[in-house]
């Protein structure tokens, strides 16, 4: 589950995000380079919201090995701190 309190600073505003626990595995950026970009350290972030590509976003979210991809509109994808 992604942590909305640790959003990567380069995410575009909006519900979709990557948090700073990304391990630079390149899975999401390979799944959809239109949605996900890489910073200078190869950490991923959401570069563009593409509602027309939501299936690809979901695929990346479910494929991330460290669950660093989140959707603020999908509580199941989020790490909630008690
Ligand atoms: S799939 Fe997860 S760990 Fe891999 S680059 Fe994307 S956000 Fe980072």
Residue ranges of domains in the chain? 4-74
How far apart are the C-alpha atoms of 6 and 21, rounded to whole Å?
8
Q: What is the pTM of this model?
A: 0.94
What is the reported pLDDT for 81? 58
What is the reported pLDDT for 70? 97
CA-nearest residue for atom 2, ligand 1, is: 64
Bridge partners, 17 (sequence order): 70
What is the reported pLDDT for 7? 97
Determine the residue of 8, 19, 24 to mutate for testing ligand 1's pocket, defined as the one with the most ligand atoms within 8 A of the Cβ atom: 24
Rounded to an integer, the average pLDDT of 6-15 is 97
Reply yes or no on whether the pLDDT at 82 is more than 60. no
What is the reported pLDDT for 14? 95
The CATH number of 4-74 is 3.30.70.20
Positive or negative torsion for Cα 68, 41, 26, 53: positive
| Ligand 1 atom closest to residue 63's alpha carbon, by position in its atom list | 1
**How would residue 32 be classed by pLDDT, with cut points 50, 70 and 90?**
very high
């Amino acid at each position: 589950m992604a942590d909305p309190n640790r959003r990567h600073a380069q995410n575009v505003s909006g519900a979709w995000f990557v948090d700073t626990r990304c391990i630079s595995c390149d899975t999401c950026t390979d799944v959809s380079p239109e949605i996900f970009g890489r910073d200078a350290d190869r950490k991923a972030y959401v570069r563009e919201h593409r509602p027309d590509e939501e299936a690809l976003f979901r695929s990346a979210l479910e494929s991330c090995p460290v669950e660093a991809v989140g959707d603020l509109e999908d509580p199941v994808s989020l790490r909630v701190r008690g």
